[in-house]
Amino acid sequence: MSYRHFEVEEATVNIGAMVSGIDLTQPMSAEICEELKQALWRYQVLFFRDQALTPDSHVALAATMGEMETHEIFDHVEGYPAISIIQHDKDHKPNINFWHTDVTFRAKPSLASILHGVTVPDSGGDTLWLSQQAAYEGLSDSMKQIVLGLQAEHSGIAAYRGSQLLAEAGAGRAEALAAMTPSIHPVVVRHPFTGKPGLFVNPTFTTKLVGYKREEGKALLEMLYRHMQKPEYQVRFRWRNDSVAIWDNVATQHY
């Protein structure tokens, strides 16, 4: 598919595309923003190189996607509460290396996320995404009928309890998370802009299937996770300094 304001190179058949010919650090017209969104809904995760975002341009870019949010746990850039800091080095061991869709423990999870690689090692630190829409389409018709009517519980407390991330977050944020109640979401959701169905369960925040005995629900969820994590539904991105990824948080999981 061709676009007027930038070039797109498809990464895999099911998910991901590299975008060039656009400067994310500069203000964009409504027409360019709309075209970028259409590409995002189509490819589910977009990759960009050599985008030296400042906090101001990062926030301006995010504002074109929708209303910004503040994460319950992550530290943020000073003066920019909507920009979370993810830091991994010898003193900050990786603590989010799990397949997940962001903040599904909320009653209204995020629509999209933007990640800017500021200081990146020569190797290591890759991110993988999978298409929950492609995974749904890959199910048998019989299994699609089973999962269509199901609901699942999602909890941030279960995911963060006892983690280093929560320990470093401070008492105020820990108390705010502890006060949250689990959220219930359909196991299959239709995308709010494209209408495409996709699975919406993940091994980090999904705790159980509603109305199932524990062992029954666990077995079905584990089957769905194995299915979703097949390589044919994935794309892998190698970061460089000033790389940017924008992903559809309804349609994808990442690791």
Model confidence pLDDT, tens digit, residues 193-209: 999 999 999 999 999 99
β 197-199/188-190 pair status: antiparallel
Task: Reply yes or no on whether the pLDDT at 172 is more than 80.
Answer: no
DSSP β-bridge partners for residue 206? 154
Output the pLDDT for position 132: 98
State the CB neighbour count (10 A cutoff) for residue 195. Answer: 7
Output the pLDDT for position 152: 98
State the CB neighbour count (10 A cutoff) for residue 54. Answer: 11
For residue 220, the one-letter residue type is: L
DSSP characters over 98-146: S-B-TTTTSSS--SEEEEE-SS--SS---EEEEEHHHHHHTS-HHHHHH
Mean pLDDT over all residues of the chain?
A: 92
Chain Cα centroid distance, residue 89: 22
Task: Reply yes or no on whether the pLDDT at 165 is more than 60.
Answer: no
Output the pLDDT for position 28: 94
Compute the chain's Rg from CA coordinates. 18
Output the pLDDT for position 157: 82
Name the residue with tokens 């498809």.
Answer: 10
Task: Reply yes or no on whether the pLDDT at 164 is more than 70.
Answer: no
| Higher pLDDT pick, 108 / 95 | 108
Q: Residues near 233 by Cβ (< 8 Å), separated by ≥ 6?
A: 14, 15, 130, 131, 134, 135, 138
Instruction: With beta carbons less than 8 A apart as the criterion, state whether 128 and 236 touch.
Output: yes
| H/E stretch holding 61 | helix 55-63
Write out the two tokens for 177. Answer: 């998370």
Name the residue with tokens 């280093």.
Answer: 164
Looking at the whole model, is its pTM more than 0.75?
Answer: yes
Output the pLDDT for position 47: 98
Write out the two tokens for 195. Answer: 């209408």
Average pLDDT on 120-144 reads 96
What distance in Å separates the CA atoms of residue 134 and residue 111, rounded to the nearest whole number? 18
Average pLDDT on 40-62 reads 97
Output the pLDDT for position 8: 98
Query: What confidence category does residue 178 fall into, taking pLDDT thresholds of 50, 70 and 90?
Result: low
Average pLDDT on 246-251 reads 98
Task: Reply yes or no on whether the pLDDT at 192 is more than 70.
Answer: yes
Output the pLDDT for position 145: 97
β 151-154/183-186 pair status: antiparallel
Closest CA to 200 of 242, 238, 151: 151
Burial of 194 from C-beta contacts in 10 A (0-12 / 13-18 / 19+): middle
For residue 59, the one-letter residue type is: V
Output the pLDDT for position 176: 67
